Chain A
Amino acid sequence: MPKKMNIAILGSGNIGTDLLIKVLRSPYLKCTRFIGRNLSSPGMRKASSLGVSISDQSIDALIDNPTCCELVFDATTASYHKKIAAILKKLGLKAIDMTPSQVGEMCVPSINLKDCISYPNVNMITCGGQTAIPVAFAISQAQSNIEYIEIVSSISSRSAGPGTRANIDEYVENTESGLRQMTGCQNVKAILNLNPATPCIDSQSSIFALVDSPDMDAVSESVAGMVLKMKEYVPGYEMIVPPQYENGRIAAMVKVRGLGDFLPQYAGNLDIINCAAITLAEEYAKEELEH
């Protein structure tokens, strides 16, 4: 049994609690603190029921006891992360930032996992970014002359909490900047739709690219390879429409069904960003073990 890396989770909302359950399953990670502000929140009570050490002291819990962990998942808010990023750095703690703060290096594990572990603060972009950017990246690998890339994500209304709704512009901006960086295409657009249908729709994304006479065989092969890579850390990732050349554009669609750990299965959008963050944390842990 390898020694596990000690991690803390900051933020006891849905994302933080779902992360906790995934950490508890991980052979590389051990959650030594689950930190929030309110001991009676459902996440805190869940953590407590799972025997995890909890604190309601927010960032002070880490300032007072910086050796409790080596890495912190920040599942609070973008504005809070901007405030504490420097503190975490000073304490010598690695940070995986789940918020759209745009502070750290942006990471999509299937694209730049190895590069990211040299950074002390890594940002997980957005849920839509984690879903669609891999496909956009795969297209950009097969095709160098992309004029424009667009990703459209549809998620069920119920999976978009008050935080997402209040920060819809930040979502769009962060997804676009991730898309730009990963694909190298400067002309990009991200769109988010909230659909209230019941039963709740699974989260899905469409990826469009404007390309002049593309090599569709190369595109299809590249995308298919990427989907396999995604499935390694996101079991519910699925291609629903393989790359098509239609009306002068490449179009492809993927969907994500969540694991249903602390969140409903239809909230694949929330599951995927957590799966990505866990993959990154495990990579840090593996790296550490080797040295």
Chain B
Amino acid sequence: MKKITISDPTLRDGSHAIKHQLTAEQVSRYCAAIDKAGVPIVEVGHGNGIGASSIQVGLSGESDIKLLEAARSTLKHAKLGVHCIPGFATIKKHIKPALDLGVDIVRCACHCTEADTTRNHITFVREQGKQAFGVLMMAHMAPVDILVEEAMKMESYGAEAVIIMDSAGAFLPNRIETIISRLCDTLNVHVGYHGHNNLGMGIGNSIVAAGAGATIIDGTARCFGAGAGNTQLEILVPVLEKLGYSTGIDFYKLLDAADLAEKELLQSAPRVKSISVVSGLSGVFSGFTKHVERISKEYDVDPRDVFFKLGERGIIAGQEDMIIEEAYALHQKKTGKPL
């Protein structure tokens, strides 16, 4: 039976859905529940990873350190993971303190064409004797050949897995099949997949990824995550088991954890809203949704136009400031005068 390692970024990606306002208390409660269910990896921190708290992508209510301490003291079995984007986070200020506090896995992430920005960070984590994964974000924006090249770079830096992240929820199953197969044919390390639901493909794409050879799949409780939400964890696990994969997770306890998440974490149940479909189709990062909605309202422009404009420009995750530029430009065009 093929083994799939489930990685749960509920307490990281979910931050996007509540404007990065997770509390240490919430982290402890969810960690306790998910640890019991036997989920092997739990990711915690700001939605864009440790060190990303900023006006640009959203200021955290609670520091990453506080959240990680809460998780560390609760988790007995699961490994504690963090997401980390060079350019936002540095080794000195963010990675080292996280490792000192007991983080087991650092998922070093970058835009899917910029793997060489993760070299020092992956190297550092490995030198500290901890696990490092590479994450290629917004993977729908690059052709498969480039994804393979970038993944190989990460492998050469010492990444023990490379995760393909569908940050905009823009992938359709056929491309996932091609990309994951090519990566599994080429790499010697684990290949993983992180899905989003903008076009309703969260579970579907994850199953295709597993079938094509991915051995790490991400999912969040009740889809808790950026934009339309992630691959739903409590559906993903039983579906994988039904297909004959082994996850080592206790189904009932997983459902309990998901119920707890709904009660304790969610302000409103994530669903695929119209704007999320636009985000997926335009290929813009899911995490932009709340910013686009707010800024479009302020500038009195159609958020759908803003999304498509950003998509045309090839704006990547982390470039949230461009929302203001586009909204400002659209407003000027509409009214013929500056604000």
Contacts and interface: CB of A to CB of B under 8 A. Distances in A.
Q: Do A and B bind each other?
A: yes
A26 interface: no
Nearest to A248: B55
B337 interface: no
Contacts of A240: 325
Interface in B96-146: 111, 113-114, 116-117, 119-120, 141-142
A contact patch SS: strand
Contacts of B86: 168-169
Contacts of B328: 241, 244
Contacts of B113: 157, 196
Interface string B262-276: 000000000000000
A191 interface: yes
Contacts of A241: 324-325, 328
A154 B314 CA distance: 12
B321 interface: yes
Nearest to B141: A196
B54 interface: yes
Contacts of B295: 246-247
B61 interface: no
Given A152-B321, A206-B56, A206-B324, A196 B111 contact: yes
How extensive is the interface on chain A, given as a class? Answer: 20 to 34
A194 interface: yes
Contacts of A152: 54, 56, 319, 321
A166 B118 CA distance: 8
B316 interface: yes
Contacts of B54: 150, 152, 189, 191
A169 B90 CA distance: 5
A266 interface: no
Contacts of B325: 240-241, 253
B313 A197 contact: yes
Contacts of A148: 55
A251 interface: yes
B77 interface: no
Contacts of B319: 152, 154, 193, 195
Contact of A191 (B88, B294, B338): B88
B321 A253 contact: yes
B2 interface: no
Given A191-B88, A206-B324, A166 B116 contact: yes
A162 to B, nearest CB: 7
Interface string A167-193: 011001100000000000000010111
Contacts of A193: 87, 111, 316, 318-319
B302 interface: no
Nearest to B312: A197
A141 B295 CA distance: 27
Contacts of A196: 111, 113-114, 141-142, 314, 316
A251 B324 contact: yes
A242 B329 CA distance: 12
A165 interface: yes
Contacts of B55: 148, 150, 208, 210, 249, 251
A253 B56 CA distance: 12
Q: Which of B114, B116, B321, B328 has the most CB of A within 10 A?
A: B321
A272 to B, nearest CB: 18
Contact of A246 (B141, B298, B313): B298
How extensive is the interface on chain B, given as a class? Answer: 20 to 34
A244 B339 contact: yes
B91 interface: yes
A191 B321 CA distance: 11
B315 interface: yes
Contacts of A168: 86-87, 117, 120
Contact of A242 (B91, B120, B338): B338
Interface string A130-170: 00000000000000000010101010010000100110110
Nearest to A167: B120
Contacts of B333: none
A174 B319 CA distance: 21
Interface in B289-331: 294-295, 298, 313-316, 318-319, 321-322, 324-325, 328
Nearest to B326: A241
Interface in A7-63: none
Interface string A184-223: 0000010111111100010000101010000000000000
B242 interface: no
A278 B109 CA distance: 37
A152 B86 CA distance: 13
A41 B121 CA distance: 30
Given A210-B55, A246-B298, A194 B87 contact: yes
Contact of B324 (A157, A195, A210, A244): A244
Contacts of B298: 246-247
Contacts of A206: 56, 321, 324
Contacts of B338: 242
Interface string A90-114: 0000000000000000000000000
Given A152-B56, A244-B324, 16 more contacts: A150-B55, A154-B321, A165-B116, A166-B119, A168-B86, A168-B120, A169-B91, A191-B56, A192-B87, A193-B111, A194-B111, A195-B319, A197-B315, A246-B324, A251-B321, A251-B324
13 contacts: A154-B321, A157-B113, A169-B91, A194-B117, A195-B314, A195-B319, A196-B314, A201-B314, A241-B325, A244-B328, A246-B298, A247-B295, A247-B298
Task: Give the top 5 A-B pairs by smallest Cβ distance, nearest first.
Answer: A197-B314, A206-B321, A208-B55, A169-B90, A196-B113
